[in-house]
Structure formats: C-alpha cells, structure tokens
Chain A
Amino acid sequence: MKKTLMKGNEAVAEAAIRAGCKCYFGYPITPQNEVGAYMSARIHKRGGVFLQAESEIGAINMIYGCAATGTRCMTSSSSPGISLKTEGISYIAGADLPAVIVSVQRGGPGLGTIQPSQADYYQSTRAMGHGDLRLPVFAPYSVQEMVDMTTEAFELAEEYLTPVIILADGLLGQMMEPVSFGDDNSEKPGKSFSWAADGHMGKREKNEITSLRLYSEELEESVNKRFARFEKFKENHTRAEAVNCDDADIVVAAYGSASRVVQSAMEMARSEGIKVGTFRPITVSPFPEKALREACKVAKKVLVVEMSMGQMIDDVKMALEYKLPIEFYGRQGGFVPGPEEILEKIRGMKV
C-alpha cells in the first residue's frame, strides 16, 4: 500500500470518510481545524455531509440526532470545545448510540494554549459528561494509528452502542507522517439497525431514542447493561504495548505523543547500560491494568511521563496497587518534553 505524507488531522478525516462516516458536524478550534477543513472539501463528493454548527454544543447535538437514525457520524474538537460537548456526549451515551469523537488536546485550563498537551486525560477517561459513564478511549501515538483507530472506532461504536473517543493532541494533529489507508467504503450503504429511529412508515413499532428514564428500576437496568457492555469491551479490546520490559529495572509508562519521546529516551538509557523498558497504554479507557502488572514484573521503579501535571499516573498507581515506587515527569503549557530531559530523570532514579 502506497504511503503518503499527511497531517494527523487530515488523516483522521480521510479515515472516517473511508469508514463510511456520512455526517461530520463540527465547530472550528485550533489545533484540530484541519479535520473540518478536510471534511468540508471532500465528504460531500463522497456521499456525505459536512456541517459547521453554530457552536460545539450545536454540533454534538446534531451528532445525537444523526446517530439516532443509525447513520455513521463523527465530530472533533479540542479541549475547551470538548468541554462544551460533554453534556451532549452524556446524552448520546445515555441513549446508547454509536458515535466517534476526536479530541485533539491543547493546553488548559480555560482557553489555555493551542499547543499540544495531555491535560484532558481525566476528562476523556472519567468525565465525558455527567452520570455513571465509562467510554472507550483510544490513544494513538502516530498518524497511522490515528487512521487505524478511527476506522476501528466506527465498528466498535456500533457493536458496543457507545460513543468512542480518539484521544490525540496538537502534536499528533499537526504533524505529518507517512500513512496508508485501508479500503474505501465511502460508497457502501450503511448498516441498518433495529433500534434506529429511521422512519418506519407504519411497518413496525416506533423506536424511541432517549436518555430519560424516570423510573429507578429502568435507569438502574440501563446503567447496568451499559457497564456490562463496557466490561465486555474491556475483555476484548483493552490494548497496550510493552517494549524491553522483560529485564527492565525501570518501566516508563506514557501514552500518545509522550510515549514517542519516552521510546527515544529508553534507547538512550539502554545505550548507557540502564535497563529501561516502556509501557504504552493504547486504550487509556479501559486502562490496561493486567498488561501493566505483567510489564512491571521485575521492575524496581516505575516512571510516568505525561504532558500534564500527572493524570494517568493515578491509573498506574491503582493498577500496580501502590506496590512499586512510582515517580513522575511532566511538562505543561504546551511543551513537548525532549528525550534528553526524560533521560536525565531516569539517570537520577537510582535503582
């Protein structure tokens, strides 16, 4: 398959169109504007619709309506915009509808900066809206993974009846890397679903899409069912990558962009004779707890590296049941750490 150079944001859009995404609703925000720009130039020529909503809240509620008809749809935004979308995401999850949501993190809180960040880990893994709610979150670390995970996300969203989050950041969105795509399914008709509110012409009972369940029994049942599906997702799709952990004294855990830099730092440390391995959660929700415990079997210390003050570190601590000393290195404000500074931290860890 021929590889072409593409920005992460553009590649996500192309992957979505190829996956049969029929509707994209969005509102501009840096650093993810290329997703909407790419969609606006192309999706209408390939059987789909691009619509720039009046706001992020408008866009996510268009997704709610569109998903209710069983039509494949996607929205994307960046940190402040994702915050605005969370109300709608909660409704979509509460109504058990499939959708793909791309979150290209920038520095916060507030308007923060448009530079890359990983400060929305809590938001995407814990707080994509109110209510008892866990959503699958994929954390790509390359443009190719952004493509592969977007493609997969549409399938999984429909299989598990849930919004699926692609958690990227400004670095992955803005950088270009060689990328190849799978089949183009943009012309294929979408699946039909028994639950969809897609017009019945009096031929069947009406389908009702709602997140309102006033009776406690009904709401409890729906929450339990949703969590049972999430458990099943956990069994079948939790993913991680461990490199050089078999003999590692120090395991460095990082996801997304930070994990790329960690990879370079590990190679530098290894060449100095420091036994370092790396652990990269590919799904950050569900968190790959078992795989992390496995990767840390012989480790004496664990280092967590994030472009934040430390959020994933909580999942690492819980997964390891606080049995190992866990240290942290982070950069904020839009800085992407260099491998040298992580190496410096590793050198100082004394094992």
Chain B
Amino acid sequence: MRDYLIAGFGGQGVLFTGKLLANIGLVSGKQVTWMPSYGPAMRGGVCNCSVCISDSLIGSPVVHHPKTLICMNGPSFDKFVPAVKKGGTAYIDCSIIDQKYDSDDITCHYVPATRLATENDLSTNFGIIVMLGKMIKESGVSDMATVRKAIEESVSAKKADLLEANVKAIELGMNC
C-alpha cells in the first residue's frame, strides 16, 4: 500500500491535490481512500489530507506516519516532516519553507514549486500541483496519460481551462 500526507495552508489546494492523487489511483483500478483533516487539526495554519492507494482493502484511511509527504508551509513542516516513516520521502516547497530537515532517515526533495508555478504564468495555487508532478516523477507511481485522465475526473467540465493549467503544472513538476 502507498500512503500519502499532503499538508499546507487552507486555500493552497491541499484537499484538491489529494483528490487528484486519489483519482490517479482510481483510474489505475486501485482501491483508494481520501481523508481530510477537519476540526481542531485545521487550526493553526495546517490543512492536510491523507490518501491511501492499494491493491487490497484499505484499513484506516487516516495516515499518521506517511511514506510520502507533500509539505507546503512552515507549520506543516514542523508537524509532519518528523512524522514521515523511516525510509520515506518528503517533498518540501523551498520557495515557501526556509527550513532544512537534518536527518538521514528520510529523503527530502526541496522544490521551489510555488515559484515555478508563478514564473510560468500559473497562479500560486498551482504550486502544489507542480509538487505533485515532481512526486509522481520521482516515485514512478503513475504516468502522464493516467494523470490526465485523473485530472479530467477531478476538474469539473465547466472549468476546462483549469484542466490544461493542471496538466501544465504537473508537467512543470515532472521536468524540474
């Protein structure tokens, strides 16, 4: 089973990115779960969601110690990077977070995802999608054709322009 935690500010696209990732699993014929943080966990600048993708039944959809973390702000860096499973991977937006994590237990990718988005005429909200693209590329969890299908599932048909913007952001991440 692959499990993921995506964390950042409210409004940064955390929940949408989780849904997109879950749809990537669904389009690939896997079992998936998506679980948002709600309630007190959301106070203090941290919004997060857990995604599990598996070949078999998924037990708890709540991920406390993820194998993969996408981390989009300072408070979630403090809270979740130390929680990543030993041998796991953290994707850290270094255009937002100045800190570095001093440990060999996990692999950290420092990616200026939000800056990459804005430098390429995308709004700051697409930074997290750029990061998802980077994660997909590094982990080999999926390919562009599947991701495109998943974006189509996740973006409402009325917002076709967002579809292409998401594809562009994923490609930016895959190629950085």
Contact = CB atoms under 8 A, between A and B. Distances in A.
Contacts of B36: 174
Interface string A255-266: 001001111110
A4 B19 CA distance: 11
A336 interface: yes
A5 B32 CA distance: 9
B60 A338 contact: yes
B65 to A, nearest CB: 8
A3 interface: yes
Contacts of A262: 59
Contact of A260 (B19, B32, B40, B58): B58
A115 B34 contact: no
B35 A261 contact: no
- Give the interface SS of chain B, mostly helix, strand, loop or mixed: mixed
Q: How large is the interface on B (under 10, 10 to 19, 20 to 34, 35 or more residues)?
A: 20 to 34
Interface in A208-267: 257, 260-265
B35 A5 contact: no
B60 A177 contact: no
A339 B64 CA distance: 11
Nearest to A260: B59
**Residue from A5, A261, A339 with most neighbouring chain B CB atoms (10 Å):** A5
A127 to B, nearest CB: 26
B35 A174 contact: yes
Contacts, number: 67
Contact of B19 (A5, A31, A265, A334): A5
A113 B23 CA distance: 30
B33 interface: yes
Contacts of A337: 60
A30 interface: yes
Interface string A12-42: 0000000000000000001100000000000
Interface of B: 19, 22-23, 26, 31-36, 38-40, 57-62, 64, 153
6 contacts: A5-B26, A31-B38, A114-B38, A175-B61, A260-B57, A338-B60
Interface of A: 3-5, 30-31, 113-115, 170-171, 174-178, 257, 260-265, 334, 336-339
Given A3-B26, A171-B62, A334-B39, 6 more contacts: A5-B22, A5-B32, A5-B153, A260-B61, A338-B60, A339-B60
